[in-house]
Chains A and B, each alone.
Chain A
Amino acid sequence: MTTQTKPRVAFFDFACCEGCQLEVLSLEEQLLDMVELVDIVTWREAMSEKSDDYDIAFCEGSITREADIERIKHIRETADILVSLGACATIGCHNALKNQFSMDEVLYIVYGDRAEWFDTIPARPISAVVPVDYQVNGCPASLPEFLTVFKHILMGKEYKPPNQPVCVECKLKDNLCVYDKGLLCLGPVTRCGCDAICTSYGHTCFGCRGLVDEPNLNAAQDVLAKYGLSVEEIVGKFRVYNNWPELSLEESQSDG
């Protein structure tokens, strides 16, 4: 592949902690392999140079202001391929916690008597505003999945995030079930692809990769009852990451 034909890659961020880009930076040696295949032309967190001419855009963060909408539309128009990177960009993440309040109220809570200086809209994932070609899930974005998506893009292949719960990867690693330790785990309804990293290191699953396509929330309620937990507790845990679209246990699917 000659230099002229290398795809040009840009990184952008919206409302987020920029931790996903930091994750990508931590690839270190593999970054050298990556730049054999692509030219990175814009990446505010990592370099000074920038360009408005790019083919592939990795976008971190949620859309949470009117100005964000214009900016992501511009990126979408410029890039051939748009990738949402990490939980803020794919599922709204903590940013969307504010959606349960009125926007006036959240502006006042954060900015007090300067609230009128700012504008805000309910936070949403990028796919809620423009079409997204690929997504890398996780908080922070899963590096193995980032590399998988990166390779799929270059090979011109579609990437479908796994539609299986974290339990699958957790079982394959021969972990003891988190519920057997008496802890509440979102693994049974959360999309895998993280290699069950949290549960493998003694934590519970926090649901950062979003829900599987057809989560059985009815089963979740049964399980709560079994372990003496309340619906409020699980809703609280769900809400840390999964607020978009509005979560409703009442509308839970019981089948198929």
Chain B
Amino acid sequence: MSICVIEHDELCALVERLIRQWPVMGPRQRKQQPGFYYFDWLRSADELVWDYVTTTLPPKKAFFPPREPFLEFSRPDPAKVRPITDQGPFVLLGVHPCDLAAIEQLDIAYSDNAADGRYLANRARTTAIIGVDCWPDEYCFCTSVGTEQARGPADLFLTPIGRGYLVEVRTPRGQKLLGDTAQLLATDEDEADAAYFRSEKQRRITAQLETTVEQFADILAEGGLTEVWQKVADRCYSCGSCNLVCPTCFCFDINDDINLDLTTGTRIRTWDSCQLPDFALVAGGYNFRRERWERVRHRWHRKFLYLYTQYGQPFCTGCGRCSRACTADINLVEVSNDLIAYAQREKRNV
């Protein structure tokens, strides 16, 4: 890994060059609603916003689309199947540390056990990822889950400094991507600038879990928190927004869309949510998470207990999207701290 400095204009030129070479996805501001951002395919470097607040959907949509037709079929016998693979390589820009950590977690989950060939093929198309450091808002709590300095799969990582960006060149791919971009030598002053940015960012993060992720997993495993779950469920629409905006949620549903000839069709995978009433509906009409509060509990168990136990890290990167997206204001940090406080109270009462 090497470090250099790139001035802002040079970076714009680099983005323009990338856009001419590949499809490039990066954060854009919503035209109608300034201050709100989303990841989209870019037509010019002007559209890209480096200093954005977290987007509505995470950047995973570049390689794991919300709705992805993945094979065409014809029936009846002999059924013919043709995979849909018409997409080529692309570049992903402007990814925050929390989202870089999330991409790494998706890679882990989708490579493990029954590896997901479709996902991995899409990831292999990811020519390069350029990360960028960020300013938090009141929902960010990356410091509580240890992702504030995550670099994950980034080939280049940028930290804003006085004269442009301090660039961490993390892979040979990242070096190649820079091409003839003017790379200035990073001075002590540049390094100090970047360090100041990072410390200032951490200082500004106000939301935090009131225990370690390890102790939180223990609290969830201990159980006896039904009262808290039920109180949250009272306010929960079960609309699935929290899952659908989550950078680490990887559940999906698969449906067949038959054409009007009733013999050909398309198989489509769509992001799914464990908060939806039919998520756990199985044959015979049985639903193993019938009650709203059971589904609420499942989200926390999944993120902070099951996957934590399986992979040694919570599948939450502190991006705060679920709390921002919740119409009913169910805040992940507040609920988690309620759970922690309740468990501590219960313990004292025993």
- Residue A222 contacts which of B270, B271, B325, B328 (CB distance < 8 angstroms)? B328
Interface string of A153-191 (1 = CB under 8 A from B): 011000000011101100111111101110000011100
A160 to chain B, nearest CB (A): 9
B325 near A171: Cβ-Cβ < 8 Å: yes
User: B260 on the interface (CB 8 Å rule)?
Assistant: yes
User: A219 on the interface (CB 8 Å rule)?
Assistant: yes
Contact A216/B30 with A164-B276, A176-B56 known, Cβ cut-off 8 Å: no
From A218, which residue of chain B is reached at the shortest CB distance?
Answer: B234
A168 near B292: Cβ-Cβ < 8 Å: no
B325 neighbours in A (Cβ, 8 Å) = 171, 177
- Size category of the A interface is 35 or more
B36 neighbours in A (Cβ, 8 Å) = 176, 180
B233 near A188: Cβ-Cβ < 8 Å: no
Interface string of A120-140 (1 = CB under 8 A from B): 000000000000000000000
User: A74 on the interface (CB 8 Å rule)?
Assistant: no
Residue among B33, B278, B327 with max Cβ neighbours from chain A (10 Å): B327
B56 near A168: Cβ-Cβ < 8 Å: no
From B237, which residue of chain A is reached at the shortest CB distance?
Answer: A188
User: A255 on the interface (CB 8 Å rule)?
Assistant: yes
User: B319 on the interface (CB 8 Å rule)?
Assistant: no
Contact A216/B236 with A151-B262, A255-B292 known, Cβ cut-off 8 Å: yes
Residues of B in contact (CB 8 Å), total 41
User: B274 on the interface (CB 8 Å rule)?
Assistant: no
Interface residues of B in 234-280 (CB under 8 A from A): 234-241, 244-245, 258, 260-262, 270-271, 273, 276-278
A106 neighbours in B (Cβ, 8 Å) = none
B57 near A34: Cβ-Cβ < 8 Å: no
A34 neighbours in B (Cβ, 8 Å) = 260
B234 near A255: Cβ-Cβ < 8 Å: yes
From B55, which residue of chain A is reached at the shortest CB distance?
Answer: A174
A168 to B261, CA, bound (A): 29
A220 to chain B, nearest CB (A): 8
B258 near A181: Cβ-Cβ < 8 Å: no
A155 to B278, CA, bound (A): 23
Contact A168/B239 with A174-B56, A222-B329, A255-B234 known, Cβ cut-off 8 Å: yes
- Residue A172 contacts which of B32, B67, B262, B327 (CB distance < 8 angstroms)? B67
- Residue B235 contacts which of A175, A189, A218 (CB distance < 8 angstroms)? A218
Interface residues of B in 193-220 (CB under 8 A from A): none
B292 neighbours in A (Cβ, 8 Å) = 214, 216, 255-256
A254 to chain B, nearest CB (A): 5
From A175, which residue of chain B is reached at the shortest CB distance?
Answer: B56
A77 to B39, CA, bound (A): 54
Contact A163/B278 with A147-B260, A172-B66, A255-B230 known, Cβ cut-off 8 Å: yes
A216 near B262: Cβ-Cβ < 8 Å: no
A164 near B237: Cβ-Cβ < 8 Å: no
Interface string of B54-85 (1 = CB under 8 A from A): 00110001000011000000000000000000
A187 neighbours in B (Cβ, 8 Å) = 239
A256 neighbours in B (Cβ, 8 Å) = 233, 290-293
Contact A174/B66 with A168-B276, A222-B328 known, Cβ cut-off 8 Å: yes
Interface string of A19-35 (1 = CB under 8 A from B): 00000000000100110
A171 near B240: Cβ-Cβ < 8 Å: yes
A113 to B213, CA, bound (A): 74
A220 to B234, CA, bound (A): 10
A255 neighbours in B (Cβ, 8 Å) = 230, 233-234, 291-293
User: A37 on the interface (CB 8 Å rule)?
Assistant: yes
A246 neighbours in B (Cβ, 8 Å) = none
A256 to B328, CA, bound (A): 16
B239 near A222: Cβ-Cβ < 8 Å: no
B277 near A172: Cβ-Cβ < 8 Å: no
User: A235 on the interface (CB 8 Å rule)?
Assistant: no
A226 to B326, CA, bound (A): 12
B235 neighbours in A (Cβ, 8 Å) = 216, 218-219, 222
B56 neighbours in A (Cβ, 8 Å) = 171, 174-177
User: B50 on the interface (CB 8 Å rule)?
Assistant: no
A214 near B238: Cβ-Cβ < 8 Å: yes
From B291, which residue of chain A is reached at the shortest CB distance?
Answer: A256
A37-B260, A165-B240 known; 11 new pairs, CB 8 Å cut-off, are A155-B262, A164-B239, A168-B239, A168-B244, A187-B239, A188-B328, A216-B238, A218-B234, A223-B329, A255-B230, A255-B291
- Chain B residues with CB under 8 Å of chain A are 30, 32-33, 36, 38-39, 56-57, 61, 66-67, 230, 233-241, 244-245, 258, 260-262, 270-271, 273, 276-278, 290-293, 325, 327-329
The 5 closest A-B pairs by CB, nearest first: A167-B239, A171-B244, A172-B66, A256-B291, A33-B260
List 7 interface pairs A-B (beta carbons < 8 Å), by A numbering: A33-B260, A147-B260, A164-B278, A168-B240, A174-B38, A177-B241, A216-B236
- Chain A residues with CB under 8 Å of chain B are 30, 33-34, 37, 147, 151, 154-155, 163-165, 167-168, 171-177, 179-181, 187-189, 202, 212-216, 218-220, 222-223, 226, 254-256
